[in-house]
Chains A and B, each alone.
Chain A
Amino acid sequence: MGRPSTFTQYKTLLAKDIRQEFRTREMLTSMGIYALLVIIVYGAALALTANGIDVMKMGGGLLWVLIVFTSLLGLGRSFAHEKEQGCMEGILLVPLDRSVVFLAKATANILFMLAVEVIAVPLFYFFFMSGEPVAPTFLAIVAPLVVGTVGMAGIGTMLSTITMNTRSRDVMLAVLFIPLIYPLLYACVTATTAAIAGTEFWMDFFVMPLVLACGYDVVMLLVCWVLYDFVVGA
């Protein structure tokens, strides 16, 4: 029997994460409930002002706060099983390229985060935006959501591998994660707000931030991909 190809290794690792999630449903339920709770907290925070202010203009920002904190919760858990059940040692014993581990884990995190967003974004719309007419460009928020999720999952996978072995790992993850995704977050919030509220300057407020976000994604994913070998072996 020959050595399995890199793509087979990738598929196997990804299938392992997805199967585990289908059996335990741990990540999706905890992230989904957390997202709902954040929306409820927004309800209290905006209770007196929601009618007075333009929710459409704040919607993009609030939505991204929700996504950042929900994914922080998910990313912090993403290596918990590997750590607790000694699965990581098993994976590292297999003679495979370590960056495949990174790609498989990042893909799994992207899938989980997108699954949560599929639930959370309609809920957010239902609770805060359904009362007002949305801009015709509303559906374009899919683009910044996907670009932002890819970058956050990539950086987050790398950082959660690092923080897995540190003391007070959840705090450490937040301390490292939020500054490092900030440029991406800034660009995605700008593009999302432009799509929700509609803008005359589509190039400046939607296309340009999206291009910058894609560039940041590419650079960060490449850096993480190259450095992952060192991190996971330490």
Chain B
Amino acid sequence: MAQRKVNVPEAGQWPDKLAVPALAAGAALTTAGFLMAFLFAAPVNGAALDAPELVGGVMVSHQQLLSQKIFYFHMPVAIVSFIALAFGAYYGVRFLTTREQRFDTCSRVAMEIALLFVVFTMITGDLWTRFEWGVWWTWEPRLTTYLILMLIVIAYFVMRNAVDDPERRATYASVISVIALVDVPICFMITRLIPSSVHPVITREGGMAPDMAATVVVIMLGMMLVGYGLYRLRFREARLAERVQALKEQMED
């Protein structure tokens, strides 16, 4: 009987207490960042909004100066999606080395958070593409590799659904989460490797003004906290469900 008790998945450790405060703090910070993006951060290079301006040798309209605000959300969300994918792969490796179901759940939840933020990145990026480049989609290297990243994350969940045996599903999912991570550095570096890429790179555009950088940092922190809060809440829910399942099976025996 004592042997049995060990097998019941544990749940409700101390980090669960941090989840809701982290989510609240993240919501407050992203809201603050949203207001900062419009009220505090000046348009690029201090351009005025009442007439078209010359920015970096290109005539820029008002609409483009306003759609630049999307950047303040787009980049932090994309960075958080990369971080979530890195955690997914990290827990995947932990699962493969320890064979503990707990790490598979960690990896799965991290991939779910990654999918959420990848979708946010695609939405914000697509709005930006529409207003800045005038098209809904273009086969630009960064956009293409990021779309591929999204398809891999979706394939990860499709694959999970197609395997019945839990142990085998966890192993395959961990392997895919590690392979998916290979695309992250490619996606990150592609704008630097391929010169024809028109996707902006901050360091190439001459860095950020202090007010822009402050706004990005606030939103980045907020998004990371939101990501962590969601991860922990979802993990708690998934873990409790596993625990209930295990207890039920124990009762039946």
Interface of A with B (CB < 8 Å)?
Answer: 158, 162-163, 165-169, 172, 175-176, 178-180, 182-183, 186, 204, 212, 216, 219-220, 223-224, 227, 230-231, 234
Contact = CB atoms under 8 A, between A and B. Distances in A.
Interface in B141-175: 144-145, 148, 151-152, 155, 158-159, 162-165, 167-168, 171-172, 174-175
A58 B151 CA distance: 25
A38 B212 CA distance: 53
A234 B148 contact: no
Contact of B178 (A165, A168, A216, A223): A223
Contact of A162 (B159, B165, B193, B195): B159
A169 B163 CA distance: 10
A159 B151 CA distance: 15
Given A162-B159, A212-B193, A234-B168, A176 B176 contact: yes
Interface of B: 96, 144-145, 148, 151-152, 155, 158-159, 162-165, 167-168, 171-172, 174-176, 178-179, 182-183, 186, 193, 195
A57 to B, nearest CB: 15
A163 to B, nearest CB: 8
Contact of B163 (A166, A212, A219): A166
Which 10 pairs across A and B sit closest by C-beta, in order of nearness?
A166-B162, A234-B171, A179-B151, A234-B168, A167-B162, A179-B152, A182-B148, A175-B155, A227-B175, A179-B148
A227 B171 CA distance: 10
Contact of A183 (B145, B171, B172): B145
18 contacts: A158-B175, A162-B176, A167-B163, A168-B162, A172-B162, A175-B155, A176-B152, A179-B148, A179-B155, A182-B145, A183-B183, A183-B186, A220-B179, A220-B182, A224-B179, A227-B178, A230-B171, A234-B168
Contacts of B96: 227, 230
A166 B165 CA distance: 10
Chain A binding surface, main DSSP class: helix
Contacts of B179: 158, 180, 220, 223-224, 227
Contacts of B182: 219-220, 223
A179 B158 CA distance: 13
Nearest to A229: B96
Contacts of B148: 179, 182-183
B76 to A, nearest CB: 25
A216 B155 CA distance: 20
A234 B167 contact: yes
Contacts of A176: 152, 155, 159, 176
Contacts of A216: 186
Contacts of A219: 182
A212 B192 CA distance: 13
B155 A234 contact: no
A229 to B, nearest CB: 9
A212 B183 CA distance: 13
A73 to B, nearest CB: 19
Contact of B172 (A175, A178, A179, A234): A234
Given A230-B174, A230-B175, A175 B186 contact: no
Nearest to A226: B178
Nearest to B171: A234
A165 B155 contact: no
Contacts of B171: 230-231, 234
B159 A166 contact: yes
Nearest to A227: B175
Nearest to B153: A179
Nearest to A168: B162
A160 B156 CA distance: 15
Contacts of B151: 178-179
Contacts of A175: 155, 158-159
A224 B182 CA distance: 11
Nearest to A162: B172
B159 A231 contact: no
A178 B155 CA distance: 10
A165 B178 CA distance: 19
Contact of B144 (A158, A163, A186): A186
Nearest to B186: A183
A185 to B, nearest CB: 10
A67 B223 CA distance: 42
Contacts of A166: 159, 162-163, 172
Nearest to A215: B186
